[in-house]
């Protein structure tokens, strides 16, 4: 942003700061003379050769202009106006004046009228006191910026409801004991009204024993759960609600049917990614995460494990990987899959390297495989050569054989009916699901040597399938009852917002009481913010969305102060040179797309 600078202290968070927030500037004396819709700036430079920069308020939808009043022969390139954005409801521009003359007087057309004896009284937001000290021509605008559409996901959490936290992909199984332990009043619930949502989307359920209207000890709920990972959390949240209309259910499909073309193998792509290291890459724009699998340094050989099952050793396989240079030097990596050379990578700087190679499938092993990455010293190498691995994909032909009674695969994109043949199960109780929407019935596994094989018929069309024994079904990380909140209520209002982790709500009551002697205080639990603004999933972006919503949609005046208490995640952004850094400033940049704060 023009007119901003970075703090550059090593090992400290990166912050953007305004060049000048004080008008007693080093290198000159400034006098401001507000006139109708304009501002006259009288500057006397000292011996310093540095330009003077200071912010002024300009009217929304107004194109600011300036006229150099003195001296007469001054050139217009002495003065520059850079618009920087909004601070609160005030549109702010930065004026920079070069010290070519000892004295210069400039008239700036701002569109701001200083009418009225006490402009602050018309608005009364505490943040205005700060703006009045910062902007020489500050005048609260009588009508704030047009309100944007409600911020968030267009989502209202259901009530009553419980939240189900999951970490892995798979079929989840919830019984009576699980729900009772979470405090769900199961005795009063008709299980036919169970409904589930994830990220605002309907999730179909299989509810065993629901037809009698009671959830009995032998009844259970099943759903296809998916993992979620970003820089802040690895937990996905599913909402289970009840008490209104009948819920969406998995379709039950007879897997017997007429036997079609037998499919017992297919080409699959296994994705491997471990968010094990947090590494900053400040010279790469558009990077969405600071989490990587591992780093590889000069002279090192790093090895990562790739578990592959049902490998058919005929034909060709492919390996794709994404690397980034960490150092700004030349990079040289050699790759070995199970000891066989498959790649020689060379690139330079802090840039990405997309690698792809084809190789004989016979190199792969059924089970444990290792990719070794060796960072070599050669004629082009500097004293430092650092690179990082992000992820790996392996594409190979897989026999549809279960490993440890679990088989997950994506089918070929076939439009005709085929019969899948799945093998390698240890028992007869195998269940098959498609894309979370279909559960197959009438499956008849048969003994085949040391294990069991089953067949089912379907039109795959590129669908995902999971076949597993009952003991491979997953349990949630936790289940907890939700307490409804009302952060989207437009009648809410506050000068001072306290956002606290849920376990410290009682602890902040004394502070809230103290602040309420002069300010209107509102205490918001961070868990409620996640629920209403990010489907229950932890993210500082939800906090920013909440603050933006409160700023534009709560009863005026908008909040001026925000206090974060306890375990509240900092906003992370990819900063130039230093990579990802944490900042609380972006949480309160809610008016416009600039990085100027709109609250304290």
Q: Over the stretch 321-336, which tens digit does the pLDDT of each residue have?
A: 999 999 999 999 999 9
Q: What is the mean pLDDT of residues 408-431?
A: 94
- The residue with tokens 């960072």 is 375
pLDDT of residue 519: 93
Same domain, 353 and 386: yes
Smallest CA-to-CA distance from 294 within 232, 377, 371 is with 371
* Spatial separation of the C-alpha atoms in residues 201 and 272, rounded to whole Å: 27
**Given the structure tokens 């913010």, which residue do they identify?**
529
Q: Which residues contact 482 (CB under 8 A, 6 or more apart)?
A: 157, 159, 160, 161, 162, 163, 239, 531, 536
Domain count, the chain: 4
Mean pLDDT of the 384-408 span: 96
CA 49 to centroid of chain Cα atoms: 45
Asked, for residue 586, whether it belongs to a domain, the answer is no
The verdict on residue 281 lying in a domain is yes
Nearest CA-CA partner of 232 in 597, 490, 591, 569: 569
My answer on whether 439 and 460 are in the same domain is yes
Asked if residue 162 is part of any domain, the answer here is no
User: Rounded mean pLDDT of 273-288?
Assistant: 89
Last residue of a domain, one of 81, 114, 134: 134
Q: The whole model's pTM is what?
A: 0.89
Residues 388, 405, single domain; the answer is no
Instruction: Using the 3D structure, point to which of 134, 149, 174 is the last residue of a domain.
Output: 134
Beta strands 38-45; 28-35: pairing state:
antiparallel
Tell me which of 438, 469, 500 is where a domain ends.
Answer: 469
Select from 183, 176, 159 the least CA-distant residue to 221: 176
- Pairing type for strands 316-325 and 386-399 reads antiparallel
Same domain, 261 and 289: no
CA distance 35 to 457: 82
- Tell me: do 322 and 416 sit in the same domain: no
CB count within 10 Å of CB 455 equals 20
For the chain, what's the residue count? 600
| Low-confidence winner among 185-189, 386-390, 414-418 (lowest mean pLDDT) | 414-418
Same domain, 125 and 65: yes
181 located within any domain: no
pLDDT in tens, 184-227: 999 999 999 999 999 999 999 999 999 999 999 999 999 999 99
Q: What angle do CA 337, 340, 345 make, to 5 degrees?
A: 70
Higher pLDDT, 303 or 579: 303
Question: What pLDDT score does 381 carry?
Answer: 62
Q: Are 405 and 504 members of one domain?
A: no
pLDDT in tens, 29-69: 888 888 888 899 998 887 666 888 889 999 888 888 899 99
Q: What is the mean pLDDT of residues 543-552?
A: 94
Q: Which of 55, 65, 241, 217 is nearest to 164 (CA)?
A: 241
Give Cβ neighbours of residue 567 (< 8 Å, ≥ 6 apart): 501, 526
Whether residue 540 sits in one domain with residue 422: no
Report the pLDDT value the prediction gives residue 8, as an integer from 0 to 100. Answer: 43
Strands of the sheet with 521-525, listed across from one edge: 521-525, 496-500, 561-565
Average pLDDT of the chain to the nearest whole number: 89
Residue 407 has pLDDT above 60, yes or no: yes
The percentage of residues in the chain with a pLDDT greater than 70, rounded to a whole number, is: 90
User: Per the domain annotation, does 215 fall within a domain?
Assistant: no
Write out pLDDT tens, residues 433-486: 999 999 999 999 999 988 999 999 999 999 999 999 999 999 999 999 999 999
Query: Is residue 168 situated within a structural domain?
Result: no
Q: Are 367 and 309 in contact (CB under 8 A)?
A: yes
Does the structure show a pLDDT above 60 at 253? yes
From the CA atom positions of the chain, what is the Rg in Å?
31
How confident is the model at residue 291, as a pLDDT? 93
Contact 392, 319 (CB under 8 A): yes
Residue 39 inside a domain? The answer is yes
Residue 381 and residue 261 share a domain? no
Domain span at 275: 266-399
CATH code where residue 311 lies = 2.60.120.260
What is the C-alpha separation between 532 and 511, in angstroms, rounded?
25
pLDDT band at 142 (very low <50, low <70, confident <90, very high): low
The tokens 């990220």 sit on which residue? Answer: 199
The mean pLDDT value for 567-582 works out to 83
**Could you tell me if 288 and 410 lie in one domain?**
no
Q: 206 is written with which tokens?
A: 């299989």
Let me know whether 498 and 455 are in one domain: no
**Does 242 fall in a domain?**
no
The encoded tokens of residue 350 equal 């802090």
Per-residue pLDDT band at 580 (split at 50, 70, 90): confident
75 CB-near residues (< 8 Å, 6+ apart): none
Residue 499: the pLDDT is 97
pLDDT at residue 594, rounded to an integer:
87
pLDDT band at 576 (very low <50, low <70, confident <90, very high): confident
Examine the domain organization and report whether 346 and 391 are in the same domain.
Answer: yes
């Amino acid at each position: 942003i023009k007119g901003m600078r970075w703090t550059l202290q090593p090992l400290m968070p990166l912050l953007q700061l305004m060049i000048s927030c004080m008008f007693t500037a080093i290198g000159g004396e400034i006098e401001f003379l507000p006139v109708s819709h304009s501002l006259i700036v009288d500057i006397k430079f000292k011996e310093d050769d540095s330009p003077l920069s200071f912010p002024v308020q300009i009217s929304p939808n107004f194109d600011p202009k300036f006229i150099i009043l003195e001296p007469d022969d001054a050139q217009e390139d002495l003065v520059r106006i850079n618009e920087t954005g909004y601070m609160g409801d005030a549109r702010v521009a930065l004026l920079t004046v070069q010290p070519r003359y000892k004295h210069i007087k400039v008239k700036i057309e701002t569109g701001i009228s200083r009418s009225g004896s006490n402009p602050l009284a018309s608005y009364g937001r505490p943040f205005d006191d700060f703006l009045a000290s910062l902007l020489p021509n500050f005048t609260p605008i009588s009508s704030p910026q047009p309100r944007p559409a409600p911020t968030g996901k267009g989502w209202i959490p259901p009530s009553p409801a419980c939240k189900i936290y999951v970490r892995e992909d798979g079929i989840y199984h919830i019984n009576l004991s699980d729900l009772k332990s979470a405090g769900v009043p199961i005795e009063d619930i008709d299980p036919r009204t169970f409904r589930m949502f994830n990220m605002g989307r309907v999730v179909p359920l299989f509810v065993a024993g629901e037809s009698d209207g009671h959830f009995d000890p032998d009844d259970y709920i099943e759903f296809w759960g998916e993992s979620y990972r970003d820089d802040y959390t690895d937990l996905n949240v599913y909402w289970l609600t009840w008490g209104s209309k009948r819920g969406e259910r998995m379709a039950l499909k007879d897997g017997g049917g007429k036997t079609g073309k037998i499919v017992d193998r297919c080409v699959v792509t296994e994705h491997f990614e471990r968010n094990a290291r947090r590494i900053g890459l400040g010279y790469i724009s558009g990077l969405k995460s600071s989490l990587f699998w591992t780093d590889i340094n000069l002279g090192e050989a790093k090895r990562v494990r790739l578990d592959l099952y049902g490998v058919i050793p005929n034909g060709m396989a492919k390996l794709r990987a994404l690397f980034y240079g960490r150092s700004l030097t030349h990079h040289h990596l050699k790759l070995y899959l199970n000891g066989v050379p498959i790649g020689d990578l060379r690139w330079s700087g802090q840039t990405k390297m997309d690698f792809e190679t084809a190789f004989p499938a016979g190199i792969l092993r059924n089970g444990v495989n290792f990719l070794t990455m060796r960072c070599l010293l050669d004629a082009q190498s500097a004293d430092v050569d650092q690179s990082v691995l992000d992820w790996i994909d392996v594409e190979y032909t897989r026999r549809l054989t279960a490993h440890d009674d679990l088989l997950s695969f994506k089918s070929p994109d076939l439009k005709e009916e085929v019969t899948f043949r799945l093998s390698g199960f240890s028992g007869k109780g195998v269940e098959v699901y498609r894309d979370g929407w279909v559960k197959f019935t009438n499956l008849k596994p048969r003994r085949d040597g040391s294990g069991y094989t089953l067949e089912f018929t379907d039109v795959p069309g590129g669908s995902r399938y999971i076949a597993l024994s009952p003991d491979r079904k997953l349990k949630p990380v936790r289940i907890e009852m939700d307490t409804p909140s009302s952060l989207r209520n437009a009648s809410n209002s506050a000068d001072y917002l306290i956002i606290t982790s849920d376990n410290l709500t009682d602890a902040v009551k004394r502070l809230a009481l103290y602040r309420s002697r002069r300010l209107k205080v509102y205490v918001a639990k961070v868990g409620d913010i996640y629920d209403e603004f990010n489907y229950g999933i932890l993210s500082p972006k939800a906090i920013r969305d909440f603050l933006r919503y409160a700023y534009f949609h709560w009863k005026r005046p908008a909040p001026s102060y925000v206090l974060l208490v306890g375990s509240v995640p900092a906003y992370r952004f990819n900063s130039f040179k230093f990579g990802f850094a944490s900042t609380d400033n972006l949480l309160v940049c809610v008016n416009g797309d600039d990085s100027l704060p709109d609250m304290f």
